[in-house]
Structure 1
């Protein structure tokens, strides 16, 4: 008998992220979100300095599509040639590439214009949700998830989680600091990517359990 789909913690996180994203998405034209965006932008851009601007430009560059592609290809080669895990490779490609497609569709649907308050760099296209934030979450959360499975010590796992979390947060903050995204764009990007990522992890875990069940018969 095929194992039934179980409600897991990961699936609960997926549903919770979807609810939170829906709440943010339905309020992006409202006064509460506008007030939130204004306060956060004032706080972050209030720290502007030449050194910090350079720092933020570096992290925005790290979160750009060309660099994401380079990091993703490096991870793909490592998964295929070093770890020889083809199913993990499929999971990684599906999450990173799929997130880009989801972001494009969401931007076309919401068609939110970018902020035009104090831009330090120029960007085109729609604003909600942030593509940099979505791809950063997808890339580094996937790397943390896959590396976690192959790291044996608590310290190495903790370091991996911390580094990946810092990358996700700083790439998102850099978009607000540089004036090309509202904070709600970044928050929406994290939540949208969280929905897609946790759903992928849940399906990945279910399939692994299903295969283990079949081979155990």
Structure 2
């Protein structure tokens, strides 16, 4: 029964299923390693090596403004406006199941982020580039929620009747945007690289589980 459902999960496309499950396993593994080694054991040498690389080869005055602008696409202010707006639009078009998915994925993601930040209470990196953040550092809320939000948009686009080429273009753009947001958090030195990678892993895992659960018990397509 379970094996048959897994096959149906991607319309009997075993390659896509195996790739998605493989990424889920990798995401859980990487998140566990980061949590244990870098957050709990405070082995953050790799983080500071990456910071040094950024300072030497990437950080430029001409790029800083762009990075600051990009990071706003997953800021608390942006999410407070855009996420409820998306839910309202879905409700207006009577896409109730998609609206419920968006609400559950978003609220659940926020609770995960807040719970983990409070539990691990990891301090922010020293010497931020432009401004100081007051909340805890792990995991990166921008990276986690950005992946959930833009991943949700990509998933909804994939469920449409658009030609596949446009679906792929939209999905690549949205995933690239979420990755760039995470990159900007390291660039601005408001998060350790491990915070961002952990956030990506958490966001992907949560979104995958939400898609899996809804397709099994409350299909939206």
TM-score exceeds 0.5 = yes
Q: Distance in 2 between matches of 1:25 and 1:71?
A: 30
Q: 1:190 aligns with which of 167, 178, 200?
A: 200
Q: Distance in 2 between matches of 1:78 and 1:152?
A: 19
- The answer to whether residue 89 in structure 2 is matched with residue 78 in structure 1 is yes
- The answer to whether residue 69 in structure 2 is matched with residue 58 in structure 1 is yes
Show the 5 A alignment for 1:11-160: 13-29=23-39, 30=41, 34-46=44-56, 47-82=58-93, 84-160=94-170
Q: RMSD of the alignment, in Å?
A: 2.3
Q: Which moved more, 1:163-172 or 1:37-46?
A: 37-46
1:172 corresponding residue in structure 2: 182
Q: Distance in 2 between matches of 1:159 and 1:151?
A: 14
SS at match of 1:28: helix
SS at match of 1:127: coil
Q: Deviations over 1:118-167 (max 9, x none)?
A: 43211111101001111101100011001210142022101211221121
The structure showing larger relative contact order (alpha-carbon pairs under 8 Å, at least 6 residues apart) is: 1
1:181 corresponding residue in structure 2: 191
Shift of 1:106: 0.3
Matched residue count: 207
Q: Distance in 2 between matches of 1:79 and 1:72?
A: 11
TM-score (norm 2): 0.84
Q: Distance in 2 between matches of 1:185 and 1:174?
A: 12
Q: Distance in 2 between matches of 1:203 and 1:119?
A: 40
> In 2, are the aligned partners of 1:129 and 1:185 still within 8 Å (CA)?
yes
Could you tell me which runs of 5 or more consecutive residues in structure 2 were left unpaired when the two chains were aligned: 10-16
Q: Distance in 2 between matches of 1:111 and 1:118?
A: 18
Could you tell me which runs of 5 or more consecutive residues in structure 1 were left unpaired when the two chains were aligned: 213-217
Shift of 1:185: 0.2
Shift of 1:73: 2.4
TM-score (norm 1): 0.86
2:12 corresponding residue in structure 1: none
